[in-house]
Chain A
Amino acid sequence: NAGVTQTPKFQVLKTGQSMTLQCAQDMNHEYMSWYRQDPGMGLRLIHYSVGAGITDQGEVPNGYNVSRSTTEDFPLRLLSAAPSQTSVYFCASHPRARPPDTQYFGPGTRLTVL
């Protein structure tokens, strides 16, 4: 299993540009999440999904869109990039299991918005 994969690893955008961060998992996990990590602020939840076709907002959803058309994929779209979105983005997944399982994290995407 590849686990959770994210592309690209690095990206530089200009203010106002749009882009999609890709996330895929091959473990058939129902739950998927997007986080951003900023120094001293830990991981903050952007959006999450409990299954294909179902998404919900996290703590910091503004400026981001998600969709979940398949179990495997959970792309994160930046509609109009702003310097405040400069961050490291992590995708994670976990199964709907009893007892609950850990989240599995991707390697991250480092995004810089100029």
Chain B
Amino acid sequence: GDSVTQMEGPVTLSEEAFLTINCTYTATGYPSLFWYVQYPGEGLQLLLKATKADDKGSNKGFEATYRKETTSFHLEKGSVQVSDSAVYFCALTSGGYNKLIFGAGTRLAVHP
């Protein structure tokens, strides 16, 4: 079945460092791809999305490009802040019922 694989965390960075969180997927058909963020004690928030190959999603300084040839959707940010500390989930929609399948999540900790 369809699945999402994310790099294991935790990822620990200093403020203003460059961030990459790797995400690859396996899917039949042409899924839409998403990054969600979960801050401590909260629900998931949609961070960005891409719906077709070569689309770039962006929001709050984060970016990810839908790469069909490598089945990847890596999350990047040029300069992280302490407030970016959270768990990041890569996800895809699967099947006719819009089922959202998540990766295992990657915890990011940013230190001053």
Tell whether A pairs with B: no
Interface on A for B, CB 8 Å cutoff?
none
Interface on B for A, CB 8 Å cutoff?
none
